[in-house]
Structures are given as C-alpha cells and as structure tokens.
Structure 1
Amino acid sequence: MATTTQHHFSSHDGVSLFYQHRPAVAATATKKAIVLFHRGHEHSGRILHVAEELVLDDCDFFAWDARGHGMSPGERGDAPSFGAMVADVDAFIRHIQATYNIAAENIIVVAQSVGAVVVATWLHDYAPNIRGAVLTSPAFKVKLYVPFAQAGLSLMQKLRGNFFVQSYVKAHYLSHDPERIQSYQEDDKITRAISVRILLGLYQAAERVVKDAAAITTPIQLLISGRDWVVHHGPQHDFYNNLGSHIKERIVFDGFYHDTLGEKDRELAIDAMRRFIRKLYETPLQSIDLTQAHVYGDSKREADELATPLSPLSVRGAYWNTQRASIALGAKWSQGLKLGQDTGFDSGSTLDYVYRNTPTGSNGFGRLVDKNYLNAIGWRGIRQRKQNLQTLIQDAMQRLRAQGQAVHVLDIAAGHGRYVLDALTAAEKPDSIRLRDYSPINVEAGRNLIQERQLQDIASFDEVNAYDRANYQNLDPQPTLGIVSGLHELFPDNNLINQSLLGFADAITSGNYLIYTNQPWHPQLEMIARCLTSHRQGKAWVMRRRSQREMDQLVAAAGFDKVRQLIDEDGIFTVTLAQKR
C-alpha cells in the first residue's frame, strides 16, 4: 500500500482546498486516476477506505475535503453557493490533470450522496471528457419528513437570509456496520449542519439535472441503497432512465442503508465498482458524436414540440393565449416589453436594454411591470453571462500578454457592443477591437458607443454576416482573441454554426484564443416559444438547446481545445475559453 500524502489546490476563486493522494503502486505506461467525493457532512478520511478495498494498484487515488468540510476552509456546512461547489469539482479535476499529468480520459470519479449530486451537476454543466463515473445513493431528493419543508425553508431564507439546518440523521440509519457507526459518532470532523442555501441549491440543481440527464453521455454506474432512510429512490431511477450515456449500469442493493460504500456488506458494491471500472479502462474510450444533434436527438425533438401549434380551444392553448395578451397589454406601459415586441426579444437592442437593467415605463405601473420583466430568470442569467464574459476576456488578455502577444479582438455578433466594450476596457485596453453585427441598427448604436467612449483609435464596427466563412479571411491585424456571444444560441442548425467556427479557425493562429457562449438549459423554454417573438420577421422565438458536450464538440472539431468554463448559478448560460491547437 502506497503512502497517502496531504496537499492543497487553488480552486476557481483562489480558495485553497485540502485533498489527499494515494499514488499507484504498480507503474503503467498510461497514468490513471480514481477521484473520490465524500457524502455531505463528511470528509476525505471517510471515503479513502475505498482506495484500499478496490485493489486497483495501477491507479492513483485522490479524495478531497469539500469546502466547509474536514480540513478545507469555510464555515462548516456552507459554501458561497451550490454552483461554487460544482466549480470546485472542475478546478480539482483540472488540478489533477495539470499537476500529475493524468489525461481527463483516464480519470474516473466515484461520488456519494450530496457529493454524487455535485458531480452529476458537473457532468451536465461542464461536460468533462472523463472516462466514467460511479454515483452511489445520489441525494437528488432528501427525505425531510416535514410537510412543505422545502417551501418553508425557501420562505425563511427570504426573510432571514442564510441559516443552518441540523442533520436529523443518526449514524445507525446510515450503515449496519458497528465500526462505521461508532467512527461517525466519534469523528470530530463530521459537519452536523448544512446551510439552507446549499440545501436549497442542492434541490434546484438536482431537479434540473434529473430532468435533463439526456445531456450527460459519460459512462455511468449508479448504485442504489435499497433501504435508504435519507434520500428518495424515485429521482435516482428517473436520472438513470433519462441518461444519454450509451454505457450505463444500475444496481440496487436490497437492505443497504444510505452509506452504500460504508455498509456492513459493502464488498458487494465494491466488487461491482471494481468490475465496472476495469471494464471502462480495458475498453477504448467511448465518445458519443453530438455534432449532428440538430438532425436527431432530444433537443431536436424538444424544439419540434415547442414549434407545434396548440389548439386555442385546449387548456394549454388558452393559457398561452392569455399570457400573450398580458404581454401585449404590458407593452403599452413597459419600455422593455415594447422594445421586445418591436425589435424581437432576442435582438441586440433588447439585450442592450437588459444589460443596462434600468426599469423604464410611461408611468409607475409600467416601471413595476418592467422591473418584473427585467428580473426574469433568463435575463438575470444574461447579466451574469456578461460578468462571466468579462472575467474570461480579462483572463484571455492576460494569457496573451504573458505569451508576448498583442491583443487583437474580433467579435462577430456584438449587438450594440456594450458588453464587449465594458469587458475589454475594464482594465488595460487591447491593441485593437473589431466589432461586427448583421443589423444596421446595432452597427449604428455600436459606432455611437465607440464615439461616446472615445475608442475610435482602436475600435471599429462593421455590418458583416457572421455565417459567411469568407468574411474571416485576410484580416489585418489578425485576431488573437475571437468572441462569439449569444449568436449560436439563436440558430438550431449546426452546419451554420460550423461556418463561423471554421472562420475563426481560419483567422486565429495556433496558441491564440476563442471565447464562446452556450445555453444548455432554460426553465422557461415553452413560455419563450409560445409568447415571445424573435428578430426574424416577428416569428416565434423557438430555441433548440445545445448540451455543453455538443457545443464543445463543435468547437473542438474546428481546432480549439477547451481551457476554462464559467456558468451562472441556474445553469442557463455558459461562457468558455478555448485555445487554437
């Protein structure tokens, strides 16, 4: 048995998190890693026994203490948000890749309970190219045993802010193993409470991931405890049935309590894991091609259903007719609703209005309607996307400066240009800014903004079709940073998207960067399709979502490697930095 060592890594926000490493005993040509994620309330020391019991001597093992747990910093049982915990996973895996020279395709993750939900959310939102995952008793729906507990906690959070909930779970409801029970009771590193923002964030993320599990194509083994007093079985089975993975396996262990990997008869689960893991490593890496998802697949079916007219005599038809009428009425006083109806709710003019986020109306009622409109979850996500764009633009500029490169920016669908100009001039200015858009209205507004900010010496704005590959040829200066934000989400056809990505590949030389956005999820797709119009001659705004894996594959096919990704707390919009191979 190799000696286990203790380390720290810097996470996405600079916080130093604790982890343990047990190196492989048997040297092999290809390095492999198993990464262990503990249950809620626990820490790495409670799951490291799996490294010994699996007897996979050719694998390195890693186990972390989630922030707010064990030896990692933070208030016990808390984190800035559930999304921050998911971003921690991405940072941890990237740290392992870089520090230990282990490729993502040779990494398998094993996660329990709350840790399994965090990992499942990571698989959905970040689409990592790992070899596979084993999820045991994922806490997609915790048994709170109090009627309307979730709604009550949500209300109390609004009134009180963040607070903590003590765990009701006793050790003898987790495992039949007497030693495991005793160690749980005596372990002073066990975190007995969980913050309400993490608990509610867990519920929200779990509901989204279970519903949209088709977006996950990673090979997955799901281990379910048959007599679980802590979490419900139903969502676990729904998750498995919805999975898009071509390689998946589900095993229910009758009589097992919640701590699947700490049960008295856990060798049954350990043996199943070992078999599954070995099979994954012995089989060539499986990657499902999603580049033709616009022709077939769940998102195509979803978009087709949203585009299907409803009978006005049906309940749903009558409901959405009423909603459309309400929007039309509100547009009489709300500036945002009127602008959306006039230019399209997906237009550059609308997005610029959303970025400014100043409720405007012809009277007090109109301003109230406008405030409610601007606070819609999708528009909140758009504003967070703007912040994430600024973060990655500054990151890319720093990388280019460190490489001794000039910063020449090309944004192919800038709208009014506000978001990109805000980001590009937040710190030091780039060497040049070339903005483009298809709309004369947007181009004129963008040129005015450039004049207003006195950027004429480095910035230009032209009316150009982003989907004509010829428009990327012979650019002077040659762009070192390409940006495409909010454009590809508006068009379902991947063949069209490829034209812009290949154009970027023509224009950007090896080692330079591309920033792209995506929309893998939206909770209001039907409302948007039934009630809002697009910029295309007032047609219904029907969106085909792209999973993050689909979008990443399209970018990779054009010659770019993913470097870093950010996502909003609701999982709606991603912003990704990629480097030209």
Structure 2
Amino acid sequence: MNKRLGNVRWAAMRLLMNTVGRLSEGIRIGYRHGFDSGSMLDYVYVNKASGSWGVGRLIDRNYLNAIGWRAIRARRELLKDVLRKEIAERGDGVFVLDVASGPGRYLQDLVEEYAPGYLRVECRDLDQAGLTQGKERARSHGLQNISYVHGDALDPRPADRAPEVIVVSGLYELLLDDEAIAASIARLRSLLAPGGVLVFTTQTHHPQLEFIARVLPNRDGVLWEMKCRPVEKAEQWAREAGFDAVASRREQVGLFTVTTAGSASAADRSSQG
C-alpha cells in the first residue's frame, strides 16, 4: 500500500513539473535538453530567474535556489580557483582540455581573465546544442583562444598537443559504473603532458537523489539517476591510475569535491627522501 501511494505521489509530481512547472524557463530547458545537460547547467550558472508571467519567474527562482543547483554554482567557483592556481604554476601558453564541457561558460570566464595567447582552452562534449551555445557566446564576446569540438569524454582522442590541464566536471556523478570512472581517469592520465594535472569533480552526497531519479528526465529522455561516492574512493582511483599527488577540496554548500591529480616532481621526491 505504501509503495502504491509513493508511486502515485511521484506520478503527481511528474505531472505537476511537466505542466505548471513549464512556466519556469529553467524547467522548460530541462525538459527540452535534459536536466543534466550542459545547456541546463549554463542556465543554472547565470542564476537569473525567468518564466511566463510573475508566477513563472517565482517558480524559476525557487527552482534555481534548490540545494543541488546552489552546490553546482559553488562547485564552479571552487573549480575556477583550482584552475587559476594550476595555470599560474605553469605560466604562459597553458593548454586546458575539458572533455565534458557543455557550453563551457566558466572556462570562457577564465579565458577573459588572461592576456590573449596566455591560455588556450578546448571544450569537448557529445551535446551539440551545448557546443553551439558555447561557440555563439564565445563569438559574441570576441574570445579567440577557446574552441569547441564534438567528442566523447569516455573515449577521448588525443588533442593536437598534450594538454597541461585536463578537466572533468559534472560527469562522473552521472555514471553508475565505478569501473568506467576508473578507466576514464587512467585514460586521461595517458593524454596529459609531462607534469600535467587532471582536475575532476565528485558528488559525495545529495539530499534530493530520490526526487531527481523519480521525476526529472536526463538528456537521453529517461529518469535521471545519479550515484554519490566518497571522495576517498575517487582519490583511490587516481592513485591506481598512477597519480601520486592527489588532493581534494569541498565546495561551500558541501555536496561536491574538486580533486587535483598530478605527479610529484623530482624535487618533491628528493625532499621527501
């Protein structure tokens, strides 16, 4: 009986989201592209409520204030801080590759912070709509050092030169297969330039997992199921892939971590010896 009532409850919630909820621009984007899509994340990053009539904007503001979206915005700020540090350590001419970027708004923000030619960024994704959105925004802002390429994050081909920094943000929490993540980390290590660093995110917990899995469709049109993992597990995969300088930081809302995985320099090893 309780299971039946639960099913009725979730069916009612899906109906409400897919009807009244569509007054919200954010929810419309979710149904159009998937609530896990790059287009959805780009809208969340902007964080400007929009919708049909006043009630649509009210629904949208409530939607954008959900804890998961607040954590994703905090994750973006932490990720930018981490990338600034890694770029500064490597100096002029750094090549950053994001293998699951979507529109890559946060990367465009970074590019704008540096002198032309100091930083080069390549954004890859399977979502063509997100790539197109990113290209158009980069063009409108006159950004020359960021490019958009269709590519599979789990089967990445080498770039025209080995990147000093590879980023995987918001992908691994969408994967249910632990072995696929471990294999991805190992594959990306093989693509890095000597002394390079892999930067990736992990979702360690989320209070709305059941709601998401019962109500919201993903980019494939099926209900969006996520898997949370302890950051210690993610760090273990990095070490098993051959990284020996692994560290993580948590964003301020507390749902995500950002991990850096690199190799200790010869000088570091000497000092440790």
Q: TM-score, normalised by structure 2?
A: 0.89
Equivalent position amino acid for 1:543 in 2: M
CA distance, structure 2, for counterparts of residue 564 and residue 428 of structure 1: 29
Which of 441, 444, 467 aligns to 2:129? It is: 441
Matches of 1:399 and 1:529 in 2, distance apart? 41
**Structure 1 counterpart of 2:104:** 417
Name the structure with the higher helix share: 2
Question: Do the aligned partners of 2:164 and 2:194 also contact (CA within 8 Å) in 1?
Answer: no
Q: 1:514 to 1:527 in 2, by over 3 A?
A: same
**1:314-463 counterparts in 2 under 5 A?**
314-401=4-91, 406-428=93-115, 430-456=118-144, 458-463=145-150
CA distance in 2, matches of 1:462, 1:502: 22
The answer on whether the counterparts of 1:394 and 1:424 sit within 8 Å (CA) in structure 2 is: no
The superposition leaves residues 185-224 of structure 1 with CA deviations (integer Å, 9 ceiling, x where unpaired) of: xxxxxxxxxxxxxxxxxxxxxxxxxxxxxxxxxxxxxxxx
Largest Rg, 1 or 2: 1
Structure 1 residues without counterparts, runs of 5 or longer: 1-310
User: CA shift at 1:487, angstroms?
Assistant: 1.0
Counterpart amino acid of residue 516 in structure 1 = F
Amino acid at match of 2:184: S
2:175 counterpart residue number: 491
- Matched residue of 1:496: which SS? helix
Distance 2:260 2:75 in 1: 13
Q: How does 1:63-74 map to 2 (within 5 A)?
A: none
Counterpart in the other structure of 1:191: none
Q: Assess if the C-alpha contact under 8 Å between 1:312 and 1:318 holds in 2.
A: no
Is there any run of 5+ residues in structure 2 with no aligned partner, and where? 265-273
Q: Is the 8 A contact 1:567 1:575 kept in 2?
A: yes
Counterpart contact for 2:111–2:119, Cα < 8 Å: no
2:267 maps to which residue?
Answer: none
Q: Is the 8 A contact 1:406 1:480 kept in 2?
A: no
Structure 2 residue 264 is matched with structure 1 residue 574: no
Q: Which of residues 224, 230, 236 in structure 2 aligns to 1:553? A: 236
Is 2:161 the partner of 1:477?
A: yes
**Percent identity, aligned pairs only?**
36
Matched-pair contact (CA < 8 Å) for 1:413–1:435: yes
3-state SS of paired residue (1:337): helix
The verdict on how the C-alpha distance between 1:410 and 1:517 changes in structure 2, with shifts beyond 3 A counting, is: same
Distance 1:530 1:562, change over 3 A: farther
TM-score of the two chains, using structure 1 as the length reference: 0.43
Question: Paired residue for 1:502?
Answer: 186
Structure 1 residue 313 displacement after superposition: 6.5
Does the residue aligned with 1:314 lie in a helix, a strand or coil? helix
Which of 200, 205, 225 is the equivalent residue of 1:521?
205
Q: Note the C-alpha offset of 1:544.
A: 1.4
Q: In 2 relative to 1, CA 557–523 (structure 1 residues): closer, same or farther, beyond 3 Å?
A: same
Does the residue aligned with 2:39 lie in a helix, a strand or coil? Answer: helix
For residues 28-177 of structure 1, the aligned pairs below 5 Å read none
Q: Which amino acid aligns with 1:318?
A: V
Q: Deviations over 1:162-200 (max 9, x none)?
A: xxxxxxxxxxxxxxxxxxxxxxxxxxxxxxxxxxxxxxx
Among candidates 526, 530, 538, match of residue 214 of structure 2: 530
The range that moved more, 476-485 or 421-430, is 421-430
SS at match of 2:153: coil
Give the aligned partner of residue 152 of structure 2. Answer: 465
For 1:560 and 1:494, locate their aligned partners in 2 and report how far apart those are by CA, in whole Å: 18
Amino acid across the alignment from 1:491: L
CA contact (8 A) 1:529 1:540 kept: yes
> Given residue 459 of structure 1, which amino acid in structure 2 is its aligned partner?
I
When residues 369 and 487 of structure 1 are mapped into structure 2, their CA distance, relative to the original with a 3 A threshold, is same
Question: Could you tell me whether the CA contact under 8 Å between 1:396 and 1:577 is conserved in 2?
Answer: no
Instruction: Give the partner amino acid of 1:353.
Output: Y
Task: Please say if residues 108 and 146 of structure 2, whose CA atoms lie closer than 8 Å, have aligned partners that are also in contact.
Answer: no
Q: Find the residue that maps to 2:218 and give its secondary structure.
A: coil
> Where does residue 84 of structure 1 map in the other structure?
none
Within 2, Cα distance between the matches of 1:428 and 1:388?
22
> Any conservation in 2 of the 1:468–1:499 contact (CA below 8 Å)?
no
Q: CA deviation at 1:563?
A: 4.6
Aligned with 2:227 (options 514, 519, 544): 544
- Equivalent residues in 2 for 1:288-303, closer than 5 Å: none
Alpha-carbon RMSD across the aligned residues, in angstroms, is 1.9
Cα displacement (A) at 1:445:
1.3
The separation in 2 between residues aligned to 1:363 and 1:569, in whole angstroms, is 33
CA distance in 2, matches of 1:559, 1:455: 35
The CA deviation at 1:427 is 4.5
* 1:425-454 CA-partner distances (Å, limit 9, x unpaired): 335564321111111111211211221222
